[in-house]
Structure 1
């Protein structure tokens, strides 16, 4: 009975009008009075924030805060792919003939996740990381590679939460929610940074929509409420760090593995 009630509440939370009301409030100056409570409940490390908490004009502005310089060093290993966010690895591994296996006991297809994009063929035998950002986390998204924008796509969808319950009990949340996808070409191929929205999902935003190239660790986009990033690498172009596993916490700029020439083209 409790599970059914939670599922109903989760379904209701996917309604756009509820999300819109929450979004309006979080942008209001009135919401700034909730910032101290918010930081206390979620144990947010406020010493990392660029500004003092009383300088933020709204809860949303605090939530999408920048950090002080040097708080997230970027791994400088040659051909590194780094984590684009602070988050927990909720899924990782090789993509099997276009299927991402066992993300919270659910399988996802690349076709659904990328909405049958012509680019999906690049990833059907690639590698995937699913990175969940909790309310505690820093919510800016950075480029995981040095490269140029090949394409950007905004896919409208639901606004389901992406917490543990929703990911486990609601079907295909990652491919039903609204998504902002950035395809980035790099020295050895391409990556897809799939930003999956949740509550107040209309607020997945590029830092600067005119920018077309980034260095590893450059500011790319941000969430105004918690969500998930799915990071895909092109077929045969990536070797993961050997010690990473599902459930690990990673920081933005931390090494995830090494990019290399496609194994299909190696002699």
Structure 2
């Protein structure tokens, strides 16, 4: 009974008008008064931020904060793939004929996640990471590989929570929520960075709308409040770091694995 009630409440709160309302408040100067409470509640390492907490004009500005230089060393070298975010790995593995298997007990079809993009053919036997960002985490998204932008695709959607409850009890959250997808072509293969919006997230934004290429670790985009990134690596190109498993906590810039040049 409680589970059904929570599911109903989540369905009702997933509409974009409510997210816009919450977003408007988080952008207001009034919301800055919540920053100290937010830091304490989620034990955020505020000392890593590029500015003192009192210098941020809104809760949203603090949430999408940049870090001081050197806070996240980035894996460097040819053919490397770095984590685009601070996150916990919710699921990882090889795609099975275009299906992301067993993410909190659910399977996801690639054509639904990528909104039937022709790019999906490149990933049907590729590798995936589902990376969940909690409110504690740094919320900017960085380039996982060096390369050029092939395409950017924005998909309107709902705003279901991507926390434990949402991912377990709501159907196909990753494919139903708002998504901003960046396809990046590197020297050794292509990567798709699927940025998935969440409840009370007012938007997902590029850090530089005009950028056409990135080096590994460059600032790519940011969330306004917590969410998830699905990282896809092109079929036949990726070898994961052997010690990584689901539930591993990773930091932005940390090595995820290597890509090899396609024949």
Which bracket does the TM-score occupy, shorter chain normalised?
over 0.9
Secondary structure of the 1:68 match is: coil
Matched, 1:74 2:74: yes
Is residue 13–residue 161 contact of structure 1 (8 Å, CA) maintained in 2?
Answer: no
- What value does the CA root-mean-square deviation take over the aligned residues? 0.8
Q: Which residue of 1 aligns with 2:87?
A: 87
Matched, 1:224 2:224: yes
Q: Which residue of 2 aligns with 1:105?
A: 105
State the 1:17 CA deviation.
1.6
* Whole-Å separation in 2 of the counterparts to 1:42 and 1:22: 19
1:180-199 superposed matches below 5 A? 180-199=180-199
Is residue 42–residue 136 contact of structure 1 (8 Å, CA) maintained in 2?
Answer: yes
Secondary structure of the 2:225 match is: coil
State the 1:200 CA deviation.
3.6
The answer to which of 130-139 and 197-206 deviates more is 197-206
Secondary structure of the 2:253 match is: coil
State the 1:77 CA deviation.
3.8
* Whole-Å separation in 2 of the counterparts to 1:220 and 1:67: 14
- What is the TM-score of this pair, normalised by structure 1? 0.97
Question: Structure 1, residues 141-161: CA drift from partner, whole Å, max 9, x if none?
Answer: 000000000000000010111
* Whole-Å separation in 2 of the counterparts to 1:51 and 1:239: 37
The answer to which of 71-80 and 159-168 deviates more is 71-80
Matched, 1:129 2:156: no
Question: Structure 1, residues 44-69: CA drift from partner, whole Å, max 9, x if none?
Answer: 00110110000000000000000000
The unaligned stretches of length 5 or more in structure 1 are: none
Is residue 178–residue 201 contact of structure 1 (8 Å, CA) maintained in 2?
Answer: no
The unaligned stretches of length 5 or more in structure 2 are: none
* Whole-Å separation in 2 of the counterparts to 1:44 and 1:66: 13
State the 1:34 CA deviation.
0.3
* Whole-Å separation in 2 of the counterparts to 1:30 and 1:39: 16
Q: Which residue of 2 aligns with 1:35?
A: 35
1:1-267 superposed matches below 5 A? 1-262=1-262, 265=263
Q: Which runs of 4+ in 1 moved over 2 A?
A: 199-202
State the 1:167 CA deviation.
0.3
* Whole-Å separation in 2 of the counterparts to 1:114 and 1:202: 21
* Whole-Å separation in 2 of the counterparts to 1:201 and 1:154: 15
Is residue 201–residue 226 contact of structure 2 (8 Å, CA) maintained in 1?
Answer: no
* Whole-Å separation in 1 of the counterparts to 2:200 and 2:104: 23
* Whole-Å separation in 2 of the counterparts to 1:34 and 1:101: 39
* Whole-Å separation in 1 of the counterparts to 2:12 and 2:45: 32
Is residue 29–residue 58 contact of structure 1 (8 Å, CA) maintained in 2?
Answer: yes
* Whole-Å separation in 1 of the counterparts to 2:74 and 2:46: 21
Is residue 122–residue 234 contact of structure 1 (8 Å, CA) maintained in 2?
Answer: yes
